[in-house]
Amino acid sequence: MLEVYALYMADDPSTDLDEFEAGLLEWLVQSDFHVEPWSTSNAAKAFKVDEDTIYEAVASLSRKVPNRIQIFYKNGALHIAAD
């Protein structure tokens, strides 16, 4: 069984995340942006980076771990769900 797990982990694209992307993903998982509207400005302040860095990281997450992040528009606002 451990061999199957090791094979699964080798194919896991989340291992390709850089440190910032991994931190952002973890923050998204622990947040409630699936319910509350997403704010790039607030995320940039929380991570002490510019908004472009947040946009690039969210876009990268959507490519690298598409099964772990969902970006959607609801009630006039952007939302992000992650697990």
Domain count for the chain, please give it. Answer: 1
Domain that holds residue 72: 2-82
Q: Six-digit token pair at 59? A: 């876009």
Ramachandran category for residue 41: left, alpha or beta (phi over 0 → left; psi -120 to 50 → alpha): alpha
> What CATH number is associated with residue 14?
1.10.10.10
Confidence (pLDDT) at 12: 55
Q: What does the pLDDT look like over 29-80, one tens digit per residue?
A: 999 999 999 999 999 999 999 999 999 999 999 999 999 999 999 999 999 9
